[in-house]
Chains A and B, each alone.
Chain A
Amino acid sequence: MRIPCPCCGDRDRREYTYYGAADFLDRPAEDAGLEAWDNYLHLRDNPAGVTRDLWYHDPCQSWVEVERNTVTHEVLSTRFVSAKAGASA
């Protein structure tokens, strides 16, 4: 399995550490309540098909959001997670 890192190009899966669904990017406010935090931390669409998830490319320390298919393992696109993050915190 190979994943294109936006920084380093096409790299083997063994250079990456997996985190989980891209849901982890949408962090609720501190006081958003139990439901919102449950939704953020635990509940998942978990699609059998196209998903977006988060991979850390250890050599360049980049967090990468990968759009890929969980049934075929086809990688559709990748981008830095920092590309859309702002001064949310």
Chain B
Amino acid sequence: MTYSGFRVFTQGLTGNKGWTKAWRQPDPKTEYDIVIIGGGGHGLSTAYYLAKNHGLKNIAVLEKGYLGGGNVGRNTTIVRANYFLQGNSEFYSHSLKLWEGLESELNYNVMHSQRGLINLFHSDGQRDAFARRGNAMLAQGDDAELLDREGVRKILPYLDYDQARFPIYGGLYHRRGGSARHDAVAWGFARGADRRGVDLIQNCEVTGIDVANGKVTGVQTTRGPIRAKKVAMVAAGRSSQVAAMAGMRLPIESHILQAFVTEGLKPVIDHVISFGMGHFYISQSDKGGLVFGGDLDFYASYAARGNLPMVEHVMEAGMTLMPMIGRAKVLRSWGGIMDMSPDGSPIIDKTHIDGLFVNCGWNYGGFKAVPASGWCLAHLMATGEPHPVAAKFRLDRFRTGRNIMDEEGTGSQHNLH
């Protein structure tokens, strides 16, 4: 069923009785050409692009819970292409281009909204670092503008320009940056993959990965064994546990990132804004809630919930930057489990097991990567060669020291990225 305004109209006239299922609920078959472990954003987009770009049909996505129940459904929904380092730069640029056509690609309104992202800076040194980043964005063919204090004030008049502990010097303005409706991205890719014949199997937990003679042969699941020629592990938040089933130890430590949403408010923040001197970034959703977040809780955790010190830090940062939000009330807080890698950049690669692929280590930048991550993993699985824009996301880069992409410069301590 194709979605359109006309369809909404005609269905409305007939009691909305005719809407069909967004995706089937198939039982798993005993064998697939490709099995993808993980029905989150990345897994679903991988399945979609395997079918769409490479014409592959016999694919299953195995999800232990419900589709989109991981980080794609619990994040601050920021979409941007503003990286400095080569490797990241071309990848996120590609992803943003895919975002820009995603509604028509998926026939699903993911509400991608390019409302503009402003990274504020608060010292000469930070300005230099952001200028360096902005110039990298321009060199990649993306957009970037350097705003001075008055330039920021024109766009964001409500920030505190007088009192803040760290005065605003200016901002790096990325007009094509913005946000999207997170659940819709998962659902859109799920529906798109399903329409191309991919079996999306929920409540199906993988309990083992079968390997024979150095080659993957299938998976064991709570709904029985499934044979497969190729298997991809796309289970951010549980990457280490899934990889352990294949005897692998990943360069990943799992950490909690909290985020917050307020009650609905009439439009007050048009842009995505990030503070440069504390951990705070914010935007307003189409429903009116202020959606904001900060940094990790900083200790390894799978609890999907956080503690008060970071909650308070985030709120304090909000109050120093934009005290006009003080009377907005936080409605919900939640925590996502982040795959933190030693350089803050992701991994899309083959493994030492033939036919077994890994996609992990998205730190807390995975949401905006959803389209390109699937695109590139699909390319790698279908062709055997890394996609050019993801060629540096190698699993062995930490061992060799080659193409480490440490944007923050904080080194091989997983929680510092």
Contacts and interface: CB of A to CB of B under 8 A. Distances in A.
Interface string B388-417: 000000000011100000000000111100
B342 interface: yes
Nearest to B399: A38
Given A42-B251, A70-B303, 11 more contacts: A1-B299, A1-B307, A13-B299, A14-B309, A21-B300, A41-B398, A41-B412, A43-B249, A45-B244, A45-B249, A48-B238
Interface string B287-303: 00000000000111111
Scoring A41, A43, A45, A46 by chain B CB atoms within 10 A of each residue's CB, the highest score goes to A46
Contact of A13 (B241, B254, B307, B400): B307
A71 B303 contact: yes
B254 to A, nearest CB: 6
B90 interface: no
Interface residues of B, number: 26
A35 B254 CA distance: 22
Interface string A11-30: 01110011111000000000
A51 interface: yes
B252 interface: yes
Nearest to A55: B299
Contact of B254 (A12, A41, A46): A46
A57 B124 CA distance: 33
Contacts of A18: 298-299, 415
A51 B399 CA distance: 24
A48 B307 contact: no
A85 interface: no
B240 interface: yes
Dominant secondary structure of chain A at its interface with chain B = mixed
B415 A43 contact: no
Contacts of B194: none
Given A34-B400, A42-B399, A70-B254, A48 B249 contact: no
B413 A20 contact: yes
A44 B309 contact: no
Contacts of A43: 249-251
B199 interface: no
B253 interface: yes
Contacts of A20: 253, 300, 413-415
A34 B253 contact: no
Contact of A19 (B241, B252, B342, B413): B413
Interface string B65-97: 000000000000000000000000000000000
A73 B303 CA distance: 7
A48 B400 contact: no
Scoring A34, A44, A53 by chain B CB atoms within 10 A of each residue's CB, the highest score goes to A44
Contacts of A1: 299, 307, 309
B37 to A, nearest CB: 16
A34 B378 CA distance: 31
A46 to B, nearest CB: 4
Scoring A17, A18, A42, A48 by chain B CB atoms within 10 A of each residue's CB, the highest score goes to A42
A71 B337 CA distance: 11
Given A18-B299, A19-B413, A41-B342, A48 B398 contact: no
Contacts of B302: 48, 70-71
A46 B399 CA distance: 18
26 contacts: A1-B299, A13-B299, A13-B309, A20-B253, A21-B253, A37-B399, A38-B251, A39-B249, A41-B342, A41-B412, A42-B399, A43-B249, A43-B250, A43-B251, A44-B250, A44-B414, A45-B249, A46-B250, A46-B252, A46-B254, A46-B300, A47-B240, A48-B240, A48-B241, A71-B301, A73-B301
